[in-house]
Amino acid sequence: MTFVAKPRIHHPNLPVNELGLTRRDYEGSVSTLCAGCGHDSVSAAIVQACAELALPPHRFAKVSGIGCSSKTPSYFLNRSHGFNSVHGRMPSVMTGANLANRELMCIGVSGDGDSASIGLGQFAHVVRRRTNMLYLVDNNGTYGLTKGQFSATNDKGSTSKKGIPNLYEPIDLVSIALQLGASFVGRSFSGDKRQLVPLIKAALKHKGMAFIDVISPCVAFNNHNGSTKSFDFVREHTSSVVNADLILGQPEITADYAEGTHEDVAMPDGSTLQLYKVDADYDPYDRIGALNYVQKMQEQGQVATGLLYVDPDAVECHDIMETTGQPLNELAEETLCPGNDVLASINQGYR
Amino acid sequence: MEQTNIFDPNYFHKVVDCQYACPAHTPVPEYIRLIAQEKYTEAYMLNWDSNVFPGVLGRTCDRPCEPACRRVRTEETPVAICRLKRAAADNKGDVSAYLPHVPEQKNGKRIALIGAGPASLAVARDLLPFGYEVHLFEQDEKGGGFMRSQIPAFRLPEEVLDEEVDRILDMGVHCHFGQAIDSMKELMDQNFDAYFVGTGAPRGRDLELTGREDVDEYIHIGIDWLSSVAFGHISEIKGKVIVMGGGNTAMDCCRTSLRLGAESVKVVVRSAFEVMKASEWEKEDAMREGIPIINNRPPKEFVHENGKLKGVLFECVTPVRGEDGRLRYESSGEPDEFIECDHVLMAIGQDNHCPWIERDLGIEFDKWDCPNLNEVTLQSTNPSIFFGGDSAFGPENIIWASAHAHRAAISIHLYCQGKDLINDRPPEGVNLLSTKMGVHEWAYDAAHDPAERHSVPLVEHESSLNNLKVEVELGFDAKLAAQEAQRCLNCDVQTVFTDNLCIECDACVDICPMDCISFVDNQPEEALRLSLTAPAQNLGQDLYVSGELKTQRVMVKDEDVCLHCGLCAERCPTNAWDMQRSVVHIPQLGSFGE
């Protein structure tokens, strides 16, 4: 926690993006999380990703639930719309916002308690519905706000600060997301912005449900020897499969990659998703393969990171429901509320 | 890149840009903090230790510290360091309890100081507490040298100068005032143990032009004229005045003329405005008083009629930047310009001049009449004779005189003790003290103050122009000084990084407002500078490189625009970052006493 406010002044050569904004313009209030919290790095990664993509901050809706993770939307994009909702209910509020205004860019931030315990049902259903959003989980395996109990994502056998092992199987949010229909699934680490920032950029530009599980160590309660979500453990046990990047416009060929390891995917808005396969055999378009791979790695005590699965042509909630193409607030009153006659004729259709 | 050795006294000293730029290495941020705490006396004495004349320098210093101030790189205008120094001097209390003890029992060594300017006075101050018998020889009736003779009273009131000169004389200097030394040989016959020459650069340059000889009466050498004004021999100048030259002496000449009743005053300069030698603020002061500065006009001829000066004819030139980046001047094609005048003040430079030193005493001089000196020890080719101030390497300013004096005093002491002047000098050193006082408490005001530089209040225009003795600048009052003090970035409170404590959580990288910190793969410096979060393009500022971290990366901090706000240390969960005050020890004779 910091009492000294971050000065407004910035580096004289700080770049300005196409909107005339610097990275600093995408920041939020001063974080009140513990010094060194991984969540602050995730917020910084979101700030950097949005600034680099030159996205207009006022077109964002950021929604969260309850917990350390859910405090973080205050710490990025202070010029956007935000809603700090009830514990585990971020998906409902986000869905509502997205249905009302499909042009908003939606970021939902949640934690392992918020999504894997109290909000597991909400999580499952928002993924099923394929709401067009970035669902980001700051996953530290512990209930930091209540002083360090095991959370539902804590690995079996991983120990508490006092050395007591966890007795229960972990919930793997990545596997659930893959299984229930997310069209973009990634995992990363708060301590590796080189991987995380491009992944967030790709997810923000993805049309459909994009889920990123970010392992974000809790420096206060879960960063000791024996923890499987500590900085050291994660650094030693991650293996990246596919690194993603998103560039605006057509890519320039800048580096040589071994055949079959680099692929450009054109995105609907003209930008390009670039995939760099670290593991040449890995197929990021194969959902079942991804599911198996993630499970297998977990069995070996390894953490698979990077872009695990993407379906660039996926449908999203609005497509499935065949909703109107315009945000509701742009519709005239007579369109939005066509009156009793229309209601009567709809009702008549069901008789 | 190699890991940075932060225990090298030079490393953190260089980060304190102001102190590093100061020839006397005055610990600027420390005294500014004392001013903020209203400890003016302590702030004054800290200055006095380093630069000997804080009251004088707070008004007249050439301020090499200010262009160096980090604030110039972060927000354009530097902290008003010089005027804060004056605020300490103006508001201080009784300093007698802080003065060094001068022993009754002398050490038997007698030292002669020639010229009672800042250099000699500072040498006297350094030597007296060590029991030396110090004899000061001066041609004028009072001490102070060019601080008295050439700096006009409207910039430096006499009582300020007297106070600081007398403080040294009262320590027990044997004064021989009103005695011009016209033979070094005769002085040496008195068998002093060592001699220090601090006679300045007393010869003002003249200009040999057509008509110069015929109008001698109307042409005055700037520094001699200022000196005559200072000692009351001249009290008016009538008619139209042209001041030739673009340095600080020219600015003093023109402003003094205005106060002595000149009908009009113009400064005419051979070169372009931006390359004039005068300090920015001195040019501004002159222009604010309505004095025009006319540039790109080399003089051609003094025009006279019946032995009376009518004016000066100037050539018109235009500056052209050559391929080497230097300005050259070409004829602009305009006809020569005639400027009418009754007097010309010549302020086109000064030279060293020691006709009173016989050339057979073993003191070698170069072709510019400067002595051949060892640059570290300031010893001449005659081992018992030392030089300092302007007489050493040519015209500089008071702060250089203080700096020379400390070095010369060490040398004189070593010489008198029969020690080696190079190998036995006390070394530089650095101490680092943590400023951490609690979880979020630091022993300094870490928050960054975005305020703009406060300007110094001036006396009302009319009253200052009518009286030579009315000081133009009123100085900061306690409130303004406190506000300006808050602008200091505390560059001496260093960001110290302990690599084996770091868990590479990135908290410091994320919070740093200036993007100074990066965790990257190590590379040679050139490539490393480009690989940082914000590329480090200011090659004059060092990179702080840690040892290798767990991920085989290194922490690299670009010192260039760090605000020393302490947020990296606030945000560090493991105290790998700490804010530690660096105290750089610059050797003085006092260093022996500790």
Residue B452 has pLDDT above 60, yes or no: yes
Percent share of chain A, pLDDT over 90: 82
E-state strands within B90-189: 110-114, 133-138, 174-177
Residues of chain A found within 8 Å of residue B570, distances taken between Cβ atoms: 2-4, 35
With contacts defined as CB-CB under 8 Å, which chain B residues touch A219?
Answer: 503, 505, 573
Q: What is the mean pLDDT of chain B?
A: 93
Confidence of residue A254 (pLDDT cuts 50, 70, 90): low
Minimal Cβ distance to A36: which of B440, B505, B537:
B505
B-chain residues near A7 (CB < 8 A): 447-448, 450, 513, 563, 565
Average pLDDT over residues A293-297: 93
* pLDDT band, residue A269 (cuts 50/70/90): confident
How much of chain A, in percent, has pLDDT values that exceed 70?
A: 96
The predicted structure's pLDDT at residue B207: 86
Contact B565 A7 (CB under 8 A): yes
- CA B229 – CA B235 distance, rounded (Å): 6
Asked if A16 has any chain B CB less than 8 Å from its own CB, the reply is: no
Q: In Å, how far are A80, A199, B534 from A45, measured between CA atoms?
A: 16, 10, 16
What pLDDT, in 10s, does the model give residues A42-101? 999 999 999 999 999 999 999 999 999 999 999 999 999 999 999 999 999 999 999 999
Is A235 within 8 Å of B550 when comparing Cβ atoms? yes
- ipTM of the complex model: 0.90
Q: B58 or A3: which carries more pLDDT confidence?
A: B58
Q: Specify the 3-state DSSP secondary structure of A46.
A: helix
Average pLDDT over residues A217-224: 95
Chain A residue numbers with beta carbons less than 8 Å from the beta carbon of B501 are: none
pLDDT in the model for residue B592: 56
Our CA angle for B189, B190, B192, nearest 5°, is 110
Q: Where are the beta strands (DSSP E) in B306-360?
A: 308-314, 317-321, 327-331, 337-340, 343-346, 350-351
Retrieve residue B42's tokens: 């302590």
> At residue A277, does pLDDT exceed 80?
no
B191 is written with which tokens? 């068998």
pTM of the model: 0.90
Which CATH class for the B205-349 domain?
A: alpha beta
Q: What is the pLDDT of residue B585?
A: 92
State yes or no: pLDDT of A249 exceeds 80: no
Fold of A23-321: Rossmann fold (3.40.50)
Place of tokens 């005050």: B581
Q: What is the mean pLDDT of residues B440-463?
A: 90
Residue A192 forms contact with B (CB below 8 Å) = no
The whole-number average pLDDT for the span B296-313 is 92
Please tell me the predicted confidence (pLDDT) of residue B298. Answer: 93
Q: How many CB atoms lie within 10 A of CB B325?
A: 6
Same fold across B100-202+352-416 and B205-349: yes
Q: How confident is the model at residue B47 (pLDDT cuts 50, 70, 90)?
A: very high
B101-125: b (≥16 Cβ within 10 Å) or e: ebeeeeeebbbbbbbbbbbbbbbbb
C-alpha neighbours within 13 Å on the C-beta side of residue B35: 35
If you classify domain B100-202+352-416 with CATH, what class do you get?
alpha beta
What is the token pair recorded at A160? 């508490």
CA dihedral of B224, B226, B230, B233, whole degrees rounded to 10:
60
pLDDT tier at A2 (50, 70, 90 boundaries)?
A: low
Residues B502-532 pLDDT 10s: 999 999 999 999 999 999 999 999 999 999 9
Domain ranges (residues) in chain B: 100-202+352-416, 205-349
- What crossing angle do the helices spanning A90-100 and A120-129 adopt, rounded to 10°? 30
Mean pLDDT estimate for chain A: 92
Kindly tell me if the per-residue pLDDT of B301 is higher than 80: yes
What is the predicted pLDDT for the residue at B594? 40
Instruction: Give the start-to-end residue ranges of the domains of chain A.
Output: 23-321
**Do the Cβ atoms of B35 and B8 come closer than 8 Å?**
no
For residue A252, the model assigns a pLDDT of: 61
Q: Does B423 have pLDDT greater than 80?
A: yes
- Which residue of B500, B505, B575 is the best one to mutate when testing the A interface, meaning the one whose CB has the most A CBs within 10 A? B505
Provide the residue type at B160 as one letter: V
CB contact under 8 A, B511 and A6: yes
pLDDT in tens, A156-177: 999 999 999 999 999 999 999 9
Whether A211 shows a pLDDT value over 80: the answer reads yes
pLDDT band at A256 (very low <50, low <70, confident <90, very high): low
Q: Tokens for A63, please give them.
A: 């929604």
pLDDT over threshold 70, residue B591: no
> Which of B448, B504, B571 minimises the CB distance to A191?
B504
Name the more confident of B66 and B327.
B66
Q: What does the angle CA B137 – CA B143 – CA B145 come to, to the nearest 5 degrees?
A: 90
Q: Which of B56-65, B324-333, B407-416 has the lowest mean pLDDT?
A: B324-333
Give the dihedral of Cα atoms B489, B490, B493, B496; nearest 10 deg: 10
pLDDT for the residue numbered A181: 94
φ/ψ bin of B566: left (φ > 0), alpha (ψ from -120 to 50), beta (otherwise): left
What is the model's pLDDT at position A258?
Answer: 60
pLDDT at residue A250 is higher than 90: no
| Mean of pLDDT values over B346-373 | 88
Question: What span, in angstroms and rounded, lies between the C-alpha atoms of B535 and B554?
Answer: 16
Summarize the confidence of residues B574-586 as an average pLDDT: 95
Mean pLDDT over B365-382 rounds to 91
